Structure formats: structure tokens, C-alpha cells
Chains A and B, each alone.
Chain A
Amino acid sequence: MSYISPPQDQVKALHDRLLWMAVILCGIVALLVVRLWGLQVWYGDYYHQLSEQNRLRHVPIQAPRGLIYDRAGRLLVTNVPSLNLYVVEEDMSDPSATIAEISRTLGLTEDEVRDRINKRRESAYTPVLIKQGLTLSEAARLETHRLSLSGLKIEVEARRRYLYGPMASHLLGYVGEVTAEQLDAAKDDSLSPGAIIGQSGLESSYDHWLRGRDGMKRVEVDALGHERRVVDAVEPVRGDDLYLTIDMELQRVAEEALGDRAGAVVAVDPNSGDVLAMVSHPSVDPNLLSGNMSTAEWTKLVNDSEHPLTNRVIQGVYPPGSVFKIPVAAAALESHQIRPEDHLFCQGGLQFGRRYFHDWKAGGHGDIAMNDAIAQSCDVYFYRLGSEMGVDTIAKYATEFGLGQPTGIALSSERHGIVPSTDWKVKAMGEPWYPGETLSVAIGQGYVGVTPLQMADLIATVASGGRRYQPHLVKAMQDRDSGRLEAFPPTRLADAAVSAKTFRILRTALTAVVEGEHGTGGAARSKLVSIAGKTGTAQVVGSANAGQVKAPTGFEDHAWFVAFAPVESPEIAIAVLVEHGGHGGSAAAPVAKQMIEHYLRPEPSTPGSAPPGEVTDTKPAKKPMRG
């Protein structure tokens, strides 16, 4: 084989072609250089910025949330370290395998895990909390998979711990991750996605102070989202601690006395408005609520017919029953409708128009004056007063006691309740007031609606002789770092426009309710301390005959008892509501009695070792009692 040298003209043509090729090559390389110049020089800053965004992530540093103490300095709510599992969606190289592993390790279904990941807002780079409080073995197992399953992060973070479990849970509230709505509603930029904030109760009302200010660190991350180093950081500022007006030992007594019955108990100091205890049952342990509940668990709680998430003390509106006779009596005395010594005759009922209004006592109370009418809760006496005064006079004085309006306590979603009047009915229902309806109102039935807190406010007003305070929950707030203590003094409201004489008459009558021979509140009688109170029975089914026959379960009447003690110089005022508890005297009064005896006991005894006999002298009254 041999190669022949080409003729000269062909060599020339070949050289031309080769030269052209070299020129074209240079041209294309020049284009590439132009392209690089465009990227690196012309748009260099832009791409540099993008590379910084790639590299740096802003990671919030949770500020330690403020602690909560009771009035005696007992720690109620604290923070404990918790191993939390996060997922960064963008960093998951194999989402289905990762989700499967999480589900295997934590015993959640894959759908639950997906559900949590999908709840995230913001970008796919935002870590999503999957589970709080991993056990060490769960954390270890996930940690071993972390290299093969990217996108998992286990962080040690502070977790809210409610030391008393479900006690005072509605009052304390719970915390949770900020929701999309809360983020949108936030006025400043102090909230960032993923922040843990108070979601109800005091955790929510005082969130601004408890939360502190989150810090922020800029970290360098690699493409898998692993942190390489911290570039810089702004340290968090811890939240303020709260000192509550609550007496946790009293709270415990109230919780235990109410037991597993649905209802509400609230105790206030009539001399300051300090709320000493606030119970709403049923309740849910806020440690669970503050954890990571699944949507299914939430739905179950929200749809629970017992409404465990409702704080009945401020959100439950009930007819006050015979407790309402207190403002009605005050109205009658103040408007000179009757003198205390005037007797009316009770024959067990009253014909009004075409309707016959029963007294709870079939035979009637006979000839009866104010003191006994209150002590024995005579309905006919109050039917008469009511029909003669008219509903608007009742409404005027009920309002003086704070009914029909929010108390202004520092908890959200407080209900107003209803104090009916002729104006109210026209506005609310577009109908005129019928005189017969006044009779129902006079014994606290019909349209009247009150919250347990309003009832406590009412009895505290009676106890203090008309001095009124706004119920308040936080005595002081402390900045732990500087030690600065900010005290919140009581807020005194306008006195009730009711004379001292009337209050004296009322206090005597309310003492007779408990101490008197025929008083309906005998179950609250104590050998240790003088107690005044009033029973009430709120009809669940609005019928004049209700209570005459035993109602089926679920339609039984609600039991009320309001009380204060000691009668001579009151230090505590209490309202107790037991849902479907039947008669106020038997169901609710013992709760108030136990609380009063605990609160006013001369020597503080160790819990659980109270001397028997004396303190637990709560024999039920022999007669069936009716508010």
C-alpha cells in the first residue's frame, strides 16, 4: 500500500479548505468567549448573588419561651429539651424511601407523614416538623439512615412542658407552630414560618411577652442541606416569665372536686379581682396539644360533643337559674318595689295570662319575705317581683353586676352572655317583649345567658359590697435576664350602683342559703368558716315543668352554686357550674365548700393528708334541694 502525493492544484484546494476550517474554529471559540464574558462579567453580580442564596440559609434560633409560675411561685410551665425531627422537602433525594423509613421508625402511617410535609407553607427549603420528642432509640435509628436518606434533620429544641398536665389547661393554653393565617395577620416581622407561638389561653394572650425574640443564624449548607458552618448569628432574646394570680393548690382542689363531670369552676379574690382558680372540664393535656398532633386527632378533638377545647369559664353561656335572683332581688329593693319585710304568699305556682308558672316546691312556701325567699329560692316570690318591675328594671341592675358584657379578662373569645330587655328582643328577634317572658327571666331562665366567670364576678361584687374589679390573671411579669419585674395592679371598675343596705340584705339572705335551716345550699355548710352562697338550676329544656319529672341523660339540668367566704370579710368568691349535674345544692355546692375550706384553712396542710371528718364534712342534705 502506498500513498500518492496529490497534484499541486489539489494541494492548493486542500489548503484552502483547511484554512477555512481553522477560521471557523476560531470564530466559534470567539463566540464561546463572548458567552463566558456575558455570564461572568456582564451578569456576574447576578450569578454571584444566586450562588450566595444557594450557599447560605437563614435559620431561626428559637428564643427560650418565658416560664409561667403561680401566685406562690410554683413553676407551672417550663421548657425541656426535646429531639425534634424535621424534613427538608427540597433536600430529599428519595422522598418515598425517606417517608417509608420515617413511618417505620416512628410508627406513623405514611399518609400521616405526607400530611405533615404537605402542611408546610413557604419554600421547599423550609424544614417541616414531623415529630417532637423523639425517643433516643428513634433518634439513633434515624441518625444512622441520615446519610443514605438525605433531607432529615434532628434538632435539639426547647419543648413546652406543662408540669400539671391537664390542670388549668384552658387557662394556660398551649403552643403550636404559627399558622398561615397568623403569619398573614402579623403586623410586624417578628414571626417567621415555623415559629412556635401561643395558640390559646394565656400562652396566646401573653404570647408577645412570653415569646421573646427569635435569633437568626446564617449557615453555609451544601447541596444536600447539611450545615457546614455558621457564618454569623443574631442571638435570641428570651421571653418574659409570668407570675399568675392562680393558686395552683386551690386549682388542684377544684379540679379534683369537679372530677370527671363536665363543668366549670372559677374562684376570684373579691378584693382585687385576682383569679385564684379556673377550671373547665373536660380538658385536654396541653402537653399533647403542644406536640405534633395529626389532623385526624385534631378533627376528633374539635368535633368531640363534649367540647374539651372550649374554656367553659368564659365561653360557656348558660341560663343562671336561681342565681339570677340575686340581681333581681337587688333590682326590686333598689327600685323600691318591695321592702325586705314585705310578705308575699306562695301557693306553689302563679297563674299569669293563660299560663301557670310552677314553683319548684309543689306545695308552695306559704307566706314568705325576702330573706327566706332567697334562702329557700321561692320562685313565686320572684315571679311576682319580676312581673311588677318589668324586664327592663331587671336588665338595668343585672348590668350593674357585670352581666351581659365581657369581663375583659385577658383571654380571647370571651362570650358576652345575654341580659334580655325589651330593646334587646326587638333587635335580636324582631319581636316585642311579652310580659309572661319576664317571669322566666326573674328566676334566671328564658333568654338569660351568663358565663361562669360573670357569675363569679357577680358574687364577688356582692361579697365586696359593690366594689368591682376586672378579673385578672397575671400578677407580674419578669425579664429573667435583667431581673426587671413589672407588676400588674388590680384594675378597679366603677362600683355597682346598688346601695350598701341592699348588699347587707343580700349577704344576710345568702348566708341563710347555706347556714339557714331550710336553705337550699346546706351542702356547703362548713364548721370551719362561714359561707354565703346561692344555688341555681339551669333548665336545659325550657319548660315550666322541667325538673318535675326526671329528665333523660343529657337533658338534665345544669347545677350552679356561687359562694363567698368568710361572710364577715370575704376573701374568696366562687362560681361552680356542673353540666347536667341536677340540683345546684347537691352537685355544685360541695365543690365550692371544699375550695373555701382549703383556701381559708388556718394552717397549710400537706396535700392529701387533710384530717378526715372535719374538712370532709359534706353530708348531702336530707331533703332534695332545688335552686
Chain B
Amino acid sequence: MTVSLPRMISDRRVPTNFDWRLVAATSAILLIGLVSLYSVAGGGTTPIYQRQFYWMLLGWATFGLMTVVDYRVLARYAYVGYGVVMLLLMLVLVVGRSSQGAQRWLSVGGLSIQPSELAKLAVLFVLASYFAERRVVGGYRIAQLTVPMLLVLAPLVLVMKQPDLGTALTLLFLFLAMVAVVGIRSRTLVVGALLFVMLFPFLWQGVWHSLKDYQRARLVTFLDPSADPLGKSYHLMQSKIAIGSGGWFGKGFQEGTQSQLKFLPEAHTDFVFSVLAEEWGFIGAIVVIGLYLTVLLLGMDAAIRARDMLGSLLAVGVVAMIGFNLIINVAMTSGLLPVVGIPLPLMSYGGTAMVVTMTGLGVVMNVRIRRLLLFH
């Protein structure tokens, strides 16, 4: 099935099914993110919020692009994209720019891009394509999962080499979510495994508290040496203080002492949620979390209504990607998890992540638009 570009754009379903709620919720999150960045970070010749704004525009552009080109067309290039990203991942290990003990960035022109973020998209598409092309009745067996496992492990190992624990975990979770969608032999196992992974932050607490101090330190160092270069649980404590001191209504815009006086580390990246929670309080935090939940549930809705398996898989993949990062990030900043470097999607400063997340949401919109037209 081939479609010409003018035909795709003039597809009458595009305006009809275009979901303004998704755009509105996303825009709201982005705006709040920019306000938080404006509050804490000037810095550099171009202020960070300004640079983030440009990345956001680029993000909307890819969102639009992802919306207009049918996802089934996009999926044809899944393996090509996967190959390119694998090359970039290898390249970054050789010529990448290091920062804080990790080699993550490739400089292209004046921009720094993070191939590990692109790996999320590549894995999303390649897994969705792979699973969608196969029809396994009654669920997958382990042996049938070998190829997709290899597809995810290859970039995962390269990402771990950098090291970038956060992205590696995201890739792993993406795989599990996809498997959950296509189903494995026992449905109970699916639910169980999913439960385990999603409850991991909370289970982790139990395990974590049963460890001795030096064991914990060792574990964290082992998992991610770049996570806590200062040692101590200084970052975590400062973040909890920031969030907790926000109270019901927060300290007000640019009044957050923890973030303004730089007690909060990485306030513009991994800990931007703490800035928000300090300055806008519990009310501000649940508003933002509500917006995220709206976006994620619209994604799940898109997956349920998708016209085919590929659409469902793509939509769930994007929800898993964003949802996992959201949950881990909030759990981390509120002290439920040790510091793993996972940014908050759409809000943390970071160009590649912004574009990747917006692309993902574009894919969700794409799937929503091209769902079965029951009323036409």
C-alpha cells in the first residue's frame, strides 16, 4: 500500500480526528517547564529557557511531521533508522563529548545531540514493526522473543557503555511494555511482570532500607558511577527539602530558596520537578502530574482504538517511554529512589530528549488520527 504525500495531508481524517486535548495538555506541560527553567536558570550567553524554547519549536515541528506522515509509512524505515542510531551509538563512544564522567554527546555543527535518546525512538519503531508483522496465537514463547530481545539488547549494551543507566532502563522497560501488549503465554505472567516493573520503585525502597550504608553506596556506584559524584546523599536530601518545603501552595515564582540559592543540584535538568514543587507547592505538583496523566491516558486510548497492532504497539511504546521516565524521575526527586539520571520528559532541559519526546507524541497523534473511523 503506497500513498502519495499530497494524499496523506489531504486525508480527511487528519482534521477530524486531530486531538486538541493532547496538544493542549502537552502545551501546558511545556509552558510550565519553561517557566520553571526561567525561574532557576539564566546561565550562558543564551539563557537556558530560551534555548529550551527553540528546542520546543523544533519538537513541535517533528510532532507535526510525525502527525502527517502515516505511521505505517514511517514503520517501513524502522530498520534503516535503527541501523543509523546503532552507528551513532558506536560513534559516540569513540568521539563523543564527556560530561560528568559519561560520554553521551555528539557535536553536530553547534548542537550537541544525545544518540542514546534517539535510541529510544529507534527501538520503539523496530520493536513495533517486528511484533506487528508477526501473528502469534495464544501469546509468545521465550524462544520467539529471542530476536526482539537481541534488537533491544544491542543498543542497550552500547548505552550502558557510556554509561547511561537511565536510558538503558528506559529501553528495557519499553521492551517489557511491548511484550505485554503482544502477550506472552500466560497472561498472569504478563500482569505479574508488569506489576513488578512498575512497582519496582516501591519494592526497591524495601530492599534499599534493608541494606547497610556501605552496601548501598557500593550498589549505587556500581550501577551508575556518574549519578552521585559528590558522594553522600546530599542531592537527594536537598531535593526532598525543596519539595517538602513547598507545602500546599509553594513559595512562589522565583522564591524557592532551595533552587534559587543553588542548594538543589541540577535544578534545570534532573531536578526540575523539585523546582516546580518548591515554588508551586503540592497544588502545582498535582496539576502537572494530572497533565502528564492526561497525556498518557490519551496515549493509551490511542493504543486501544488503533486500527492495527502496529498503531497499538507504537502508542503503548510512547506511553511506556514517557510514563517510565515520569515515574522514575518523580520517585527519584521525592526520595523514593536513589539518584539515577533520568530527566523529566518535556520539562527537564535537554534538546534531544525534547525532540524525541515530541516525536513520540506526534506518533501517538498519528495513531489517534488514523484509527478506525466508526462514525464515518
Contacts and interface: CB of A to CB of B under 8 A. Distances in A.
Contact of B262 (A22, A43, A224): A224
A501 B304 CA distance: 126
Interface of A: 1-6, 10, 13-15, 17-22, 24-26, 28-29, 31-33, 35-37, 39-41, 43-48, 50-52, 54-55, 220-224, 228
Given A32-B334, A44-B245, A55-B257, A37 B198 contact: no
Given A40-B285, A48-B247, 4 more contacts: A14-B309, A29-B327, A47-B245, A55-B261
Interface stretch (B91-99, B152-160, B295-303, B344-352): B295-303
B261 A24 contact: no
B323 interface: yes
B282 A5 contact: no
A432 B240 CA distance: 78
B131 to A, nearest CB: 11
Interface in B171-186: 177, 180-181, 183
B13 interface: no
B262 A51 contact: no
A25 B330 contact: no
A31 B337 CA distance: 14
Contacts of B213: none
A36 B243 contact: yes
Given A6-B309, A41-B247, A47-B243, A223 B180 contact: no
B132 interface: yes
Given A18-B300, A25-B296, A36-B334, A41 B282 contact: yes
A22 B244 contact: no
Interface in B181-206: 181, 183, 187, 190-191, 194-195, 198-199, 201-202
A228 B243 contact: no
A490 to B, nearest CB: 59
A222 B267 CA distance: 14
Interface residues of B, number: 62
Contacts of B202: 31
B111 to A, nearest CB: 28
A55 B201 CA distance: 31
Given A19-B304, A39-B334, A1 B76 contact: yes
26 contacts: A1-B76, A3-B132, A3-B133, A17-B181, A18-B300, A21-B181, A21-B316, A24-B198, A25-B297, A32-B289, A33-B286, A33-B289, A36-B243, A37-B282, A39-B244, A40-B247, A40-B277, A40-B282, A40-B285, A41-B247, A44-B245, A47-B241, A47-B244, A51-B241, A51-B244, A222-B261
B262 A25 contact: no
Given A18-B312, A40-B246, A222-B262, A47 B199 contact: no
B312 A54 contact: no
Contacts of A46: 244
B180 A21 contact: yes
A33 B331 CA distance: 10
B209 interface: no
A436 B157 CA distance: 101
Contacts of B277: 36, 40
A36 B241 CA distance: 12
A385 to B, nearest CB: 80
B208 interface: no
B331 to A, nearest CB: 7
A3 B72 contact: yes
A106 B189 CA distance: 69
A24 B194 contact: yes
B330 A50 contact: no
Given A24-B195, A36-B282, A48-B245, A223 B262 contact: yes
B337 to A, nearest CB: 11
B304 A15 contact: yes
Contacts of A17: 180-181, 183, 187, 190
A118 to B, nearest CB: 20
Contacts of B72: 3
B1 interface: yes
B135 interface: yes
Contact of A26 (B135, B242, B293, B336): B293
**Interface SS, B side:** helix
B281 interface: yes
Interface in B317-345: 319, 323, 327, 330-331, 334-336
B310 interface: yes
A33 B187 CA distance: 29
B307 interface: yes
A8 to B, nearest CB: 13
B247 A44 contact: yes
Contacts of B310: 3
B54 interface: no
A323 to B, nearest CB: 68
A4 B300 contact: no
A26 B319 CA distance: 12
Nearest to A47: B244
Contacts of A55: 257-258, 261, 263
Contacts of B132: 3
Contact of A220 (B244, B261, B289, B308): B261
Contacts of A48: 244-245, 247
B199 A28 contact: yes
Interface string B161-177: 00000000000000001
Contacts of A220: 257, 261
Most B Cβ at <10 Å: residue of A41, A48, A54, A228: A54
Contacts of A52: 257
Contacts of A47: 240-241, 243-245
Contacts of B293: 25-26, 29
Contacts of A45: 247
Contacts of A28: 198-199, 201, 327
A39 B333 CA distance: 11
A22 B300 contact: yes
A32 B327 contact: yes
Given A40-B246, A40-B248, A224-B262, A18 B316 contact: yes
Nearest to A55: B257
Nearest to A221: B261
A149 to B, nearest CB: 17
Nearest to A29: B293
B281 A14 contact: no
A6 B136 CA distance: 10
Nearest to B257: A55
A2 B201 CA distance: 40
Contacts of B183: 13-14, 17
A3 B309 contact: yes
Contacts of B181: 14, 17-18, 21
Contacts of B312: 14, 18
A44 B244 contact: yes
Nearest to B195: A24
B75 to A, nearest CB: 8
Interface string B271-289: 0000001000110011001
A37 B195 CA distance: 23
B250 to A, nearest CB: 9
Contacts of A1: 76, 133
A18 B304 contact: yes
Interface string B221-247: 000000000000000001011111111
A37 B330 CA distance: 13
Which among A40, A44, A48, A55 has the highest number of chain B CB atoms within 10 Å?
A40
B1 to A, nearest CB: 6
A51 B242 contact: yes
Nearest to A31: B202
A5 to B, nearest CB: 6
B244 A5 contact: no
Given A25-B323, A50-B241, A51-B242, A41 B261 contact: no
Contacts of A32: 289, 327, 330-331, 334
* Top 4 closest pairs, chain A to chain B, by CB: A47-B244, A51-B245, A223-B262, A222-B261
A2 B72 CA distance: 9
